[in-house]
Amino acid sequence: MEETISMPLIGDKFPELEVQTTQGKKKLPDEFKGNWFILFSHPADFTPVCTTEFVAFQKRYSEFKKLNTELIGLSVDQVFSHIKWEEWIKEKLKIEIEFPIIADTGKVANRLGLIHPGKGTNTVRAVFMVDPKGIIRAILYYPQELGRNMDEFLRMIKGFQVADKNGVAIPANWPNNELVKDRVIVPPATDTVTAKKRMKEYDCYDWWFCHKKI
């Protein structure tokens, strides 16, 4: 009986994959062990929206690296196409792409669930955020016609790191939340004794909604 391989989900270990990239062959997730990494797919090389995305990622590459985060792109294109596109971006837009791009025949895209039949045969704009232990922490999907917001990805990585370090949750629009501004959410109490203490220990709207400065 043929084994059914399901697409990876949040909380899963990132699948072990050997990939060909513009910077040589790499094994994922081991290549980035000890680092966060963002794997993002794009529909195709030499397309306008994808070009704006790659420029946007590169412009923020140093900011990602300061957060111990690497980038790796992917599309169902040959490595020669990726290299030529990189050359075009450097020549025409004066931006040099420094992160690797995976050249895929469709095997990697299918393993990661990046081909959505209702949107054609190209990869959708998917984003996988993976932590230093190789665990998938977030998955986002965008259609081909909508470019992504890289500042949100920076915010998410910062939020994950703050949450992990401090054992807290991150509010909406952090660090500019409408209720608690740049403060973070204290996990709700799970027993009556702790619930009664909460109002004295933290700033709270109620025992189940407390926040603090970090």
* Cβ atoms of 172 and 52 closer than 8 Å: no
Residue 50 among the catalytic residues: yes
User: What's the chain look like in SS3?
Assistant: CCCCCCCCCCCCECCCEEEEECCEEEEECHHHCCCEEEEEECCCCCCHHHHHHHHHHHHCHHHHHHCCEEEEEEECCCHHHHHHHHHHHHHHHCCCCCCCEEECCCHHHHHHCCECHHHCCCECEEEEEECCCCEEEEEEEECCCCCCCHHHHHHHHHHHHHHHHHCCECCCCCCCECCCECCEEECCCCCHHHHHHHHHHCEEEECCEEEECC
The residue type at 12: D
* Cβ atoms of 25 and 18 closer than 8 Å: yes
Strands 36-41 and 69-75, by their bridges, are parallel
Q: Which of 50, 126, 129, 157 is catalytic?
A: 50
Instruction: Give the catalytic positions in this structure.
Output: 50
